[in-house]
Amino acid sequence: MKFADDDIILIKNILKEIIMYIQNLENTINQIKKNPKNNHLIVKIIETLRSIIDLSHFINLDFLVEIIRKQNKHLKNLQTIDNKDIHILEQLLQIIKNTFDTISNYANKSDMSEIDIPLEDIKDSKEYKEIINYLESRAASKEKNKTSSFSSLNELLEEYAVELEDNITKLENALLDYEQNHNSELLKDIMRYFHSIKGGSRLILSFPENSDNISLLYIEKISHKFEDLVQKSIKENIDLPVNLLFQAVDYLKTLKNSFLQNIPFDKDKIDKFLQNINTSKIQHPVEKIEINEISRPTETISETLINLISQFLEFLNVLKENPELKENALYSILPIKNGLELLKNKDLIEILNSAESSIKQNDFDQAYQTISKLYNILKQTDKTSIEKTDIELKEAEKNKKERVLETKVDTKTKSPILKVNRKKIDKLINLIEELTTVKNFLSYILKMNVIQDEKTKNNVTRLNKIISELYNVAISIRMVPVGDLFSMFRRTIRDLSIKLSKKVNLIIKGSEVEIDKNIIEIIEDPLTHLVRNAIDHGIEPPQERLKLGKNEEGEIVLNAYYSGNFVNIEVIDDGKGINPEMVRAKALEKNLISPEEVMNISDEQIINYIFEPGFSTSNNINEISGRGFGLDIVKNTIEKIGGKIYIESKVGKGTKITLQLPLTLFIVRGLLVEIENFKFIIPMEFVHEIFKLNSSKIYSHKEIYFTKIRNKIVPVIFGDTIIENFEFNKKEYLVNNDLINLVLIDNVEYGTVALVVNKIIEENEYLIKNIPEISTNNNLLFGATIIEDGTVVPILNLIELVI
Amino acid sequence: MKKILIVDDSKMARNYHAYVLKNAGYRVIEAIDGADALEKLFSNPDISCIITDLNMPNMDGLTFIKKVREKEEFKKIPIIIVTTLDENYDKSEGFKAGANYYLIKPTKPSALISTIKLLLKD
Ligand SMILES: [Mg+2]
């Protein structure tokens, strides 16, 4: 491998340092040979190896990092070390030595970055592979003893829910595509989505726990019927009844929600709907699967054998017409032979052998007859004797299993897109968010220089770094492309334009732009409202558009793009635009603006009044965009998450509404308190306890206040500790108030501290926002939030609290 | 420890089959469609059995089976089709493509394991 110039500067230092670690490792290995049960030595080896990982990591010695990590993972689970482990360790030591020796041979050459250092030889060596194989097999056998992640029906249900949702979305999109372009590939896709929904539902239904779930039964029914319907259209080459299929999709959506949230649905309506679909009425019985059967399937060799033979008869029928399958037919005989051998029935094996030679001689009819004979004999064989064989087989199986010691790791499929259950992600992110508060604590400890031990300090620094990285990754998991949301509007626009007899073409741009899932959820309704508005009030009817010299088909553009720390989402239509004079008149009529103001305000500014509460409530309510969801609520919703809304419009040309949205949302659980006239939020992680205390129990000594709580002296602090340049008379406060509200706060340096607050308002979840006017250099600020009444409230970061 | 290739576009189905097989002591390699499966098969020549779904995007099961059988080294590998029971599905198509046997979804764990055991002579 070649090293980058940056690495070469590091290499010399690393080579110096590594000598010590290698020496350490060698010594410890020698010690542990004499003391294989000394756990302390194992820990020492792990630590030394970890330091070697760190150094190797710096210069991208990935193969070395990999092997040492595996070694460490293995060591961590060991109580004592056996000879094999020592052998592996010694080989690993040799590999480490070889690697750095090889590098140091080149380290003094001036043109080092030009040289291809032969480290691959080490990676490809027999020894390297031996270690990796050994460690992997040990890791796998440990893995085997753990319960797999798929441990319950619930897990299967979660996967079903994710897949169902995914299939319904894809189905709807394929239908929308098909409507525009009757493409046979799309037909196949549509059929497949129904097929997948059906298959998944059947699996879930086969567990007795769900077998009578009515929503599931209907999901299966609809998808089954419609798969057949699409199949029929393909076979008979007729167009799909698109509207019927859209209805089916809607029912599937309803049923999905009813299944997930356990809410009832209108069964009669669906029954009526399905009556009109004339496809197969065959109900397929679903075999029951007991959940514990999954992990401990009963062996049913004889039953399976009969099934295989009956399938082989089908095969032979096909073979008669397709003699080129002969070779494969002979392979298909093997499992039957295996089964008969297990039954130890020589006569039956004879029969099979004769069938085999018939096939070899191309006498397929004879083979069919012989196998039929075999099938009948087996079917009629005394059941009990077969069952007995089954039991014997099970015993033999058990013994065999015990002999198998090694297992290997399973390979996971790597698909670029991972569909994950949302609850799991949210939980993960919550945990990581909790971790970041630990991280803050660690940063603080580091800053206070309380850790003396260098090693601990290094590890804490390291931990800190890892938490930061973890947090960034976690946040990125929550980011999803906005395209999924955008394409949802295809259906909205289709349905609405049909209803309003308008022609609308949707153009989607910037689908790949990513934004926090939580934000997507919040903006779904406002965006729907804006899109509906654009069709309803913006786009003109086709004839009118033609008269105006516009394209008959109106255009709605949904566009997303990054802009600094924001994502902008635009809803653009090429409709009639907003007439500023109308807005002026209405704003005046509704007393939203004074007569003088209305004269001075520009056209650009006045149209912003459509977002004012009370502007669009009166004559505009209709089924389409009324819905009790005015533009003021759109604006409100966007601003609540720290976003902004802008509008531009030209009469006759169209309107563009821009949502400026933050990339992520951060939520903190906190206690809303009032100190004097200021409101603050104390994150719950600092809140130890809430306390009420008689003011006489608060003592002072030279301006220092304290109290006793459960016989412990606790410092008492007031608002002035938190609010800068804030003076107030503590003595007077204590005299005027009999009962004092205290929030006990955990503090690293002082232990528990009691903060005096005037009022405890509530505990709630608050959105952390970057509000520019409040982000001062005050250490005690975490950020701020806007509470219900619109007040901006600081969120306190009490880690840095200094009394 | 024998390796089994599971081909299915449904993650739920893959996980379900993988779980059953792993519990019975097999190693499992998963593929999300026929094309993916071919790649996995070529890079894992020690796979001893293939279990494949039919209805899949990109490359469906029958095409996948045909492609496998085209290769001399995979003429003998046992292939089981795992598919939902359909009046539209013609079983002879599977045999013609080169499958040895089929199982009906939802697959009974006992049927799956017993079939594999007979196929692999375990
Ligand atoms: Mg499928």
Mean pLDDT of the residues in chain A: 82
Q: Of B9, B13, B110, which has the smallest distance from its Cβ to A293's Cβ?
A: B110
Whether domain B3-120 has CATH 3.10.20.600: no
A557 and A577 housed in the same domain:
yes
Task: Answer yes or no: do B29 and A289 touch at CB < 8 A.
Answer: no
Give tens-digit pLDDT for A674-684. 988 888 998 88
Contacts of A159 in chain B (CB under 8 A): 11-12, 15
Nearest CA to B2 out of B51, B38, B35 is that of B51
pLDDT of residue A700: 83
Contacts of B51 in chain A (CB under 8 A): none
**A417-422 contact pairs (CB < 8 A, 24+):** A419/A162, A419/A163, A419/A166, A419/B11, A420/A162, A420/A477, A421/A158, A421/A159, A421/A161, A421/A162, A422/A517
Dist. CA A494 → ligand 1 center (Å): 29
Contacts of A368 in chain B (CB under 8 A): none
Residue after which a domain boundary falls, among A84, A114, A143: A143
Q: Which residue of A has its CA nearest to B58?
A: A189
- The domain tally of chain A equals 6
**Is residue A416 included in any domain, yes or no?**
no
**What HEC string does A558-571 produce?**
EEEEEECCEEEEEE
Give tens-digit pLDDT for A42-57. 888 988 898 888 778 7
Q: Helices (DSSP H) in A237-345: which residue ranges?
A: 242-261, 267-275, 291-295, 301-321, 326-343
User: Does this model's pTM top 0.90?
Assistant: no
How far apart are the C-alpha atoms of A149 and B49, rounded to whole Å?
24
Is the Cβ–Cβ distance between B60 and B93 less than 8 Å? no
Shortest Cα distance, chain A CAs vs residue B64, angstroms:
16
Shortest Cα distance, chain B CAs vs residue A301, angstroms:
6
Using CA atoms, how far residue A315 sits from A51, A310, A424, A565, in Å, is: 62, 9, 46, 63
Percent of chain A beyond pLDDT 70? 85
Give tens-digit pLDDT for A293-336. 766 667 677 888 999 999 999 999 999 999 999 999 999 999 99
Give tens-digit pLDDT for A747-796. 666 678 899 999 898 888 787 765 554 444 456 676 778 777 778 888 88
How far apart are the C-alpha atoms of A53 and A50, rounded to whole Å?
5
Over residues B37-42, mean pLDDT: 93
- Please name the residues between 36 and 65 in chain B that touch chain A, using a CB distance below 8 Å: 36, 40, 44, 55-57
**Is residue A358 included in any domain, yes or no?**
yes
Burial A53-90 (b: 16+ CB within 10 A, else e): bebbeebebebbbbbbebbbebbeeeeebeeebeebbb
A41 and A133 housed in the same domain:
yes
pLDDT of residue A624: 43
pLDDT of residue A61: 86
CATH number of domain containing A587: 3.30.565.10
Least confident of A36-40, A241-245, A404-408, A770-774: A404-408
Instruction: Show the tokens assigned to A311.
Output: 């399938």
Contacts of B40 in chain A (CB under 8 A): 411
Over residues A447-456, mean pLDDT: 76
Q: Of B30, B98, B114, which has the smallest distance from its Cβ to A412's Cβ?
A: B30
Residue after which a domain boundary falls, among A126, A143, A160: A143
Task: Answer yes or no: do A293 and B29 touch at CB < 8 A.
Answer: no
Q: Is the per-residue pLDDT at A356 higher than 90?
A: yes
Dist. CA A222 → ligand 1 center (Å): 17
A208 vs B61: which has the higher pLDDT: B61
Q: Of A287, A301, A325, which has the smallest distance from its Cβ to B114's Cβ?
A: A301
Residue after which a domain boundary falls, among A662, A685, A720: A662
CATH number of domain containing A690: 2.40.50.180
Task: Answer yes or no: do B32 and A303 touch at CB < 8 A.
Answer: no
Q: Helices (DSSP H) in chain B: which residue ranges?
A: 11-23, 34-43, 61-70, 91-97, 109-120
First CA to last CA across chain A, in angstroms? Answer: 56
Is the Cβ–Cβ distance between A335 and B115 less than 8 Å? yes
Give me the count of residues in chain A.
803
Task: Answer yes or no: do A148 and B22 touch at CB < 8 A.
Answer: yes
Q: Which residue of A has its CA nearest to B30?
A: A413
**Is residue A564 included in any domain, yes or no?**
yes
A334 and A447 housed in the same domain:
no
Q: One-letter amino acid identity for A379?
A: K
Dist. CA B11 → ligand 1 center (Å): 9
Contacts of A206 in chain B (CB under 8 A): 106
Q: One-letter amino acid identity for A403?
A: R
pLDDT of residue A789: 76
pLDDT of residue A428: 78
Instruction: Show the tokens assigned to A495.
Output: 């349905």
Which phi and psi angles does A555 have, rounded to 5°? -130, 130
**Is residue A441 included in any domain, yes or no?**
yes
Q: Is the per-residue pLDDT at A365 higher than 50?
A: yes
Q: Of A199, A295, A327, which has the smallest distance from its Cβ to B10's Cβ?
A: A199
A658 and A510 housed in the same domain:
yes
How far apart are the C-alpha atoms of A60 and A47, rounded to whole Å?
20
Dist. CA A196 → ligand 1 center (Å): 5
A688 and A783 housed in the same domain:
yes
**Is it true that the peptide bond before A481 is cis, omega within 30 degrees of 0?**
no
First CA to last CA across chain B, in angstroms? Answer: 10
Contacts of A198 in chain B (CB under 8 A): 84
Residue-range domain boundaries for chain B: 3-120
- What pairs with residue A701 in β-bridges? A704
Nearest CA to B6 out of B84, B108, B112, B95 is that of B112
**Is residue A635 included in any domain, yes or no?**
yes
H or E stretch covering A17 = helix A5-34
Give me the count of residues in chain B.
122
Candidates A413, A415, A418: best to mutate against B (most CBs of B within 10 A) is A413
Task: Answer yes or no: do B95 and A280 touch at CB < 8 A.
Answer: no
pLDDT band at A60 (very low <50, low <70, confident <90, very high): confident
A616 and A528 housed in the same domain:
yes
pLDDT band at A400 (very low <50, low <70, confident <90, very high): very low
pLDDT of residue A408: 30
Report the SS3 class of residue A394: helix
A536 and A599 housed in the same domain:
yes
A445 and A319 housed in the same domain:
no
Q: One-letter amino acid identity for A64?
A: L
**What HEC string does A344-356 produce?**
CCHHHHHHHHHHH
B71 touches chain A (CB under 8 A): no
Give tens-digit pLDDT for A238-286. 888 999 999 999 999 999 999 988 888 898 999 999 887 876 555 656 6
Task: Answer yes or no: do B84 and A305 touch at CB < 8 A.
Answer: no
**Is residue A343 included in any domain, yes or no?**
yes
Nearest CA to A234 out of A276, A183, A193, A179 is that of A183
How far apart are the C-alpha atoms of A715 and A729, rounded to whole Å?
17
Burial class, A427, CB count within 10 angstroms (exposed 0-12 / middle 13-18 / buried 19+): exposed
Contacts of B89 in chain A (CB under 8 A): none
Q: Of B31, B57, B117, which has the smallest distance from its Cβ to A192's Cβ?
A: B57
Q: One-letter amino acid identity for A243?
A: N
CATH number of domain containing A255: 1.20.120.160
**Is residue A407 included in any domain, yes or no?**
no
A396 vs A279: which has the higher pLDDT: A279
How many beta-carbon pairs below 8 A join chains A and B?
174
Which phi and psi angles does A261 have, rounded to 5°? -105, 5
A20 and A159 housed in the same domain:
no
How far apart are the C-alpha atoms of A645 and A677, rounded to whole Å?
31
Provide the ipTM: 0.95
A263 and A369 housed in the same domain:
no
pLDDT of residue A541: 96
Nearest CA to A705 out of A720, A689, A690 is that of A720
- Domain extent, residue A697, equals 666-796
Burial class, A710, CB count within 10 angstroms (exposed 0-12 / middle 13-18 / buried 19+): exposed
Q: One-letter amino acid identity for A233?
A: S
**Is residue A494 included in any domain, yes or no?**
no
